[in-house]
A and B are shown apart, each in its own frame.
Chain A
């Protein structure tokens, strides 16, 4: 069964850091690009970051450039999101998602259950 399992969410103070993880199973992880998508409480979806299957290319939304870093460890089938300089507006459920393609972001066909990040003092 294809599965994505996020972890690492929690409560953090403004200006703090957090690292999210997403463990993949049931498919050849290195063959697909991956993304992080977030959803603030009661709001719509916002694509945050993406990475190619090899990890050689990364993509970021303007709202997180310079603060968030996406990476992956294909030997451990795990995707990461390092979040620094966190702001209240980063509060959201963070989903990891598998792409249909390897090299770039095309369509997100498998999603995890999400992990909640709350930025508050």
Chain B
């Protein structure tokens, strides 16, 4: 299985800050990389698919980048409602998720 490693595991930032989360695959996955947001007690929500495509209805402050083994999710201006855990997922082979990054608002 392809292992997905996210960093950091948690972060705390202020409203308006630019936040970047990284995700590294144990082997090349081309652009088969998705990002999800999950709030406590809720199902995950797809934010970014195919590494950089914004899912319909998702605010434009979210963006994704990368290819091969290294990927990023960037929130350009952090908002209070962005407090959540973020997961990357590869679908190049049998799907696997990263361990998650918990984002808190200072």
The finding on whether chains A and B are genuine partners in a shared complex, rather than unrelated, reads yes
* Stretch binding the partner chain, chosen from A10-18, A24-32, A73-81, A101-109: A101-109
A 62-103 binary contact with B (CB < 8 Å = 1; else 0): 100000000000000000000000000000000100001000
Chain A residues within 8 Å of B95, by CB: 35, 47, 50, 105
Of the candidates A44, A50, A113, which one forms a contact with B99 in the assembled complex, judged by CB atoms under 8 Å apart? A44
B62 contacts A by Cβ under 8 Å: no
Interface range, B side: 20 to 34
Chain B residues with a Cβ under 8 A of chain A = 1, 32, 34, 36, 38, 43-46, 49-50, 55, 87, 89, 91, 94-100
Of the candidates A59, A104, A107, which one forms a contact with B49 in the assembled complex, judged by CB atoms under 8 Å apart? A107
> Nearest chain A CB to B1's CB is how many angstroms away?
7
Interface range, A side: 20 to 34
Given contacts A47-B95, A106-B91, contact A111 B100 (CB under 8 A): no
A61:B94 contact, CB within 8 angstroms: yes
Given contacts A47-B89, A95-B43, contact A108 B34 (CB under 8 A): yes
Apart from A61-B94, A107-B49, list 16 A-B contacts with CB within 8 A: A45-B36, A45-B44, A45-B89, A47-B94, A47-B95, A59-B94, A62-B94, A95-B44, A105-B95, A106-B49, A106-B91, A107-B34, A107-B91, A109-B55, A111-B43, A111-B44
